[in-house]
Structure 1
């Protein structure tokens, strides 16, 4: 009989408890970041470092326990992305006055669990047989393996979190400087805009995704704000009576630029994302079929073989039973939306959800293996799902129905949660494969992480909604959290039923997306290390330019630090400071996000958004420029080895 090596303990009580706490904490932080910046980042490496620092306090701990902790924590982070990309649309469209706890829990929890189950048959094929890269998974495994001086890494993380939190407190809470440095001017009839958000978190996002993606996000911003908006204001303004009337009132160039972007130009991003999501599905059709066939074969081909712990997935019969079990409450959830939703419509919604969920979860899993979680087309596939769902519901229910857009958003929300979980969790399974973890134990911890974060999503979202507002400026919240993806999801769903979607802009965006895909294919054929994923450009188009600028600067910092590290003689020193840079960036993001959440508490209690303010930005954005400049320098020095060896 084949001898099976028993690994050290993995699902220990202390690992599960720490994983649950980090899942909830990082879910809240990533929810704030996504609503603010329209982008989220992986939390695996920071979670691994925190785990190593905390578990080192115990007499016995091991690498597989640390891996279990980061697995659960990253599930919370990725679920937050699926939630904030979709569910705020229901508040923006005034279907919900606030985030209903039961609905959010069911949608996020069931969608996330489906994402876990959908990827179990793909694990062996994508990770073992095809050997896809899964870059974040490899990086996390290296951090877990080295484990050198975790307390110092934890010090970098916590120090950066303190800096990010204090900066956010000084700017948003105390009112010592403006959050955005911006200006605008008219050149003839053309409205020209320029600006930068003074956020350390945005610098850190750019640093983490790197110069390639950060540059593409910035390029999308340039296309929208430096080309499309000036051209539209100069030559096409009369085609939109409301915008023409706004310009006739003599509003500032900044206000007109934002109005044009909101009403017309950002829909270029919708078209580009739609094409990107469909292209991802089409281009991977053969690979996905092969991966699924290989995944199913393993459950019939190993019945008489003694599997090692590192080969044991959750049994396929349990996976299929779990999927069927989860579909039942989703069916009744859709049926309970409104009396207009018949059993046939509810069944159609459930079928669309499960088919789209599985297809796009598979795409997300495969894309994560090729280019990493940061380049996953989650926004694109969600837009495609909502557009298709809206058209199907329009045919079934007619254009007069009032609940059609809501129903489409709910389908998209489940798909987005499943796809977000699928891509990020495959990175964790890759890390586990490299360090010898047991797959079914990781898959169980992924489910625990999903449920842990689903339990806290509604309270966090309600707190942010009451304190800052979301999506649309109101007299109470003139500068809300933008929630860019959710705002676009709402516009698409309402536009299909109201027949007022700016289809010309969507079509132009689709053409732009096709051109970018062609460029990316050309770069791939040449073997270039630079790529042009269409989603990154689309993100830049539908983000305000002031958010894209610091993301681009963060990418430049990452590139400059990389060049300095390459000149260092010691490979271990280079790798150590590469990780330190990532930890500083992750700490800045986490600190700023948590400060934003904590500051929301006194705002909600008192009803006064200026309750902490000591001033009203007496020096404009100048102090913020100085502070963010110092933080950027510190990030650069930590990443290139200048803060100790």
Structure 2
């Protein structure tokens, strides 16, 4: 049997019955779909940029984008489900691209290599990296979606939401209601200062410092519900490793002079935060690097099989022509993929040439040219490898749990070590920190391309899975993914600059006297800058990093044991690693959201004895909770961006403050009460009996 015949047999064996059959052709890319997709992508890019900079996590926007697009398309007389799918395909690209950008490019601010977000370099890197992510996964679509037995949870859920929308439902109302409520709470917290946005405290036992705190915003509550109990528990476990084991042990066994230098007079919970920032979070670096390497090794087989399947599909098309491929199996032709990949290398090279400072590095023209060429090639090769990994992981655990941070840290650590070997013979980076900063910025730029590509790869395949179930045309979805990338790339730099001007990022502020408690933590970007510069200045806390590697190995072995026992609870190492390097106060509300999701599932399960009815009601409850949680995230994030406008204009985060002096205790109480009420509300909405 020939390879094409084998492929055709596999496709029939693993085929699904789409909602719209391949024989029926409906309008997909229409003018209103392009306008809506472009606009929603820009909007969701901004919202998720705020969320990611604040908490270090983003969630898939496919489902909220689908619900919003359904509501908007109903305003038109003519629309269909495939047109709706095209809109959400473009819109979800905005969330994905913002994740790749905010995990990396703010590191240039942390390094003080940039004093502001440069528009054209940010636009070019994000657009080129995002388009590469779409292109790299086109050859893998058939293997990962058609043949592999992967779940693609958000893709399946998006398809179900769109099908339900054809039958009517109240999804848009849930998102709108939650969005308004979440927006009002955020306004009271960050704008009016009447409600506390976080609460924390500490206790010292036998010289060991224990800190505990929680963010009181509802966006993280929504994140926890969406990722579910398993991931929420692991993220919290990572935080517990840092805050309940790492910090107490460090305060007991470290040199008191070193502790005093780190804390710089801070006491209690603030001292715990300083110790975590300077030392303990680097365990997360080691865990992320080890987890990223493990993901790459373990997924090599599926990636290899995917490439072989793509080769077989191309052979079939050459033998029978494009008409031999059903409408629902038509991808962007492979020669366009190759041409597009080479074309994207041009803006990447131009940006590298303009941003990387040859004078600061003080290297010859020949060595500079060689470094640029190697950096571009490395970005393309690593981008393809990690896009394949991200695509497979999206099918395995979903886009919201995709290890973008892990693959980016692995990329930056690798390119930094290579550049150190390449440039170290001419430069002593330990002595000249200006050169170290320029070299670290080079590694960050390469990492940004890879991060954007990997983020879009997972999102593209998730949307293509939804398209497969609905009967969409893959090539049209791939085109609209690129449209969404361009829309998000245009707005991301102005949004980042607005947020930086209003709040500050990490420990860098655009002006003196800003409120450090309002700063966007940007945990990934802060970590990327520390790792990149630390390699060149040789001051990384390698003891902490290797401890993180050991923790990761232990978690990998635990997960293997759980897999062998066929446990429904799994322990993906990167979820724990995220918790290690996130502030504990961010892990607590995520854990609360996961617990609510678990409680809803148990309640609904106990309500129905019939197996099929129970499954249907559990799916309905999950969808209700997911939409409500998405509304909470979107409402808080959009208000965070809108508040940045008066904050930036007045150069103060207190311009809207209404709280009188000495109101802090009452604000703390109101914050805890408000957060608790939202927990109860989310639970009641999710377990309700409405059918979506």
Identify the TM-score tier after normalising by the shorter chain.
over 0.9
Q: For residue 375 of structure 1, what is the aligned residue in structure 2?
A: 401
- Are residues 1:35 and 2:53 paired? yes
- Are residues 1:182 and 2:200 paired? yes
Aligned length: 640
- Are residues 1:423 and 2:458 paired? yes
Q: For residue 631 of structure 1, what is the aligned residue in structure 2?
A: 678
- Are residues 1:604 and 2:648 paired? yes
2:481, 2:348 → 1: CA distance?
A: 20
Decide which of 549, 571, 580 is 2:624's aligned counterpart. 580
2:377, 2:691 → 1: CA distance?
A: 56
2:651, 2:260 → 1: CA distance?
A: 37
Q: How does 1:132-147 map to 2 (within 5 A)?
A: 132-147=150-165
2:207, 2:32 → 1: CA distance?
A: 64
Q: Give the CA deviation at 1:48.
A: 0.8
Larger CA deviation: 462-471 vs 175-184: 175-184
Decide which of 314, 317, 338 is 2:357's aligned counterpart. 338
2:269, 2:168 → 1: CA distance?
A: 47
1:644, 1:429 → 2: CA distance?
A: 26
DSSP 3-state at the match of 2:201:
strand
Q: For residue 451 of structure 1, what is the aligned residue in structure 2?
A: 486
Q: For residue 533 of structure 2, what is the aligned residue in structure 1?
A: 494
Decide which of 580, 585, 591 is 1:541's aligned counterpart. 580
1:324, 1:250 → 2: CA distance?
A: 54
Q: For residue 243 of structure 1, what is the aligned residue in structure 2?
A: 259
1:443-463 alpha-carbon deviations (Å, 9 max, x no partner): 000000000000000010001
Q: For residue 227 of structure 2, what is the aligned residue in structure 1?
A: 209
- Are residues 1:406 and 2:441 paired? yes
Decide which of 507, 519, 537 is 1:472's aligned counterpart. 507
Decide which of 36, 40, 51 is 1:22's aligned counterpart. 40
1:161, 1:423 → 2: CA distance?
A: 26
Taking structure 1 as reference, are residues 329 and 250 closer, same or farther at Cα in structure 2, changes over 3 Å only?
Answer: closer
Q: Give the CA deviation at 1:643.
A: 7.4
Q: For residue 168 of structure 1, what is the aligned residue in structure 2?
A: 186
Q: Give the CA deviation at 1:515.
A: 0.7
1:245, 1:349 → 2: CA distance?
A: 37
Q: For residue 98 of structure 1, what is the aligned residue in structure 2?
A: 116
Q: For residue 246 of structure 2, what is the aligned residue in structure 1?
A: 228
Q: For residue 112 of structure 1, what is the aligned residue in structure 2?
A: 130
- Are residues 1:278 and 2:293 paired? yes
1:209, 1:250 → 2: CA distance?
A: 38
Q: Give the CA deviation at 1:351.
A: 1.3
- Are residues 1:531 and 2:548 paired? no
Q: Give the CA deviation at 1:644.
A: 8.9
1:237, 1:267 → 2: CA distance?
A: 18
DSSP 3-state at the match of 2:209:
strand
Decide which of 28, 34, 39 is 1:10's aligned counterpart. 28
1:508-564 alpha-carbon deviations (Å, 9 max, x no partner): 101111111111111111111111011110111111111111110110000001112
Q: For residue 355 of structure 1, what is the aligned residue in structure 2?
A: 381
- Are residues 1:83 and 2:122 paired? no
DSSP 3-state at the match of 1:613:
coil
Conservation of the 8 A alpha-carbon contact between 2:237 and 2:579 = yes
Q: Give the CA deviation at 1:374.
A: 2.4
Q: How does 1:288-367 map to 2 (within 5 A)?
A: 288-305=303-320, 306-336=324-354, 337-339=356-358, 340=363, 342-367=368-393
Larger CA deviation: 602-611 vs 102-111: 602-611
DSSP 3-state at the match of 1:615:
coil
2:473, 2:266 → 1: CA distance?
A: 62
DSSP 3-state at the match of 2:516:
coil
2:23, 2:265 → 1: CA distance?
A: 76
1:230-249 alpha-carbon deviations (Å, 9 max, x no partner): 110011144xx4423466x7
1:354, 1:52 → 2: CA distance?
A: 37
Conservation of the 8 A alpha-carbon contact between 1:332 and 1:346 = no
1:545, 1:266 → 2: CA distance?
A: 11
DSSP 3-state at the match of 2:318:
coil
TM-score normalised to structure 2 length:
0.90
Q: For residue 437 of structure 1, what is the aligned residue in structure 2?
A: 472
Q: For residue 261 of structure 1, what is the aligned residue in structure 2?
A: 276
Q: Give the CA deviation at 1:250.
A: 5.9
Q: For residue 546 of structure 2, what is the aligned residue in structure 1?
A: 507
1:10, 1:246 → 2: CA distance?
A: 57
Conservation of the 8 A alpha-carbon contact between 1:637 and 1:643 = no
Conservation of the 8 A alpha-carbon contact between 2:109 and 2:508 = no
1:236, 1:292 → 2: CA distance?
A: 51
Decide which of 544, 555, 562 is 2:601's aligned counterpart. 562
Q: Give the CA deviation at 1:79.
A: 0.4
DSSP 3-state at the match of 1:183:
strand
1:49, 1:263 → 2: CA distance?
A: 43
1:473, 1:331 → 2: CA distance?
A: 28
DSSP 3-state at the match of 2:210:
strand
Larger CA deviation: 182-191 vs 615-624: 615-624
Q: For residue 16 of structure 2, what is the aligned residue in structure 1?
A: none
DSSP 3-state at the match of 2:204:
strand
Please list every run of 5 or more consecutive structure 1 residues that lacks an aligned counterpart in the other structure: none
1:359, 1:334 → 2: CA distance?
A: 21
1:644, 1:311 → 2: CA distance?
A: 32
Decide which of 409, 412, 415 is 1:389's aligned counterpart. 415
Q: Give the CA deviation at 1:188.
A: 2.7
1:578, 1:51 → 2: CA distance?
A: 20
Taking structure 1 as reference, are residues 51 and 250 closer, same or farther at Cα in structure 2, changes over 3 Å only?
Answer: closer
2:22, 2:116 → 1: CA distance?
A: 53
1:278-311 alpha-carbon deviations (Å, 9 max, x no partner): 0000011121111111112211222243211101
1:252-271 alpha-carbon deviations (Å, 9 max, x no partner): 12122111101100000000
TM-score normalised to structure 1 length:
0.97
DSSP 3-state at the match of 1:303:
helix
Q: Give the CA deviation at 1:348.
A: 0.7
Conservation of the 8 A alpha-carbon contact between 2:153 and 2:395 = yes
Conservation of the 8 A alpha-carbon contact between 1:107 and 1:414 = yes
Q: Give the CA deviation at 1:607.
A: 1.6
DSSP 3-state at the match of 1:147:
helix
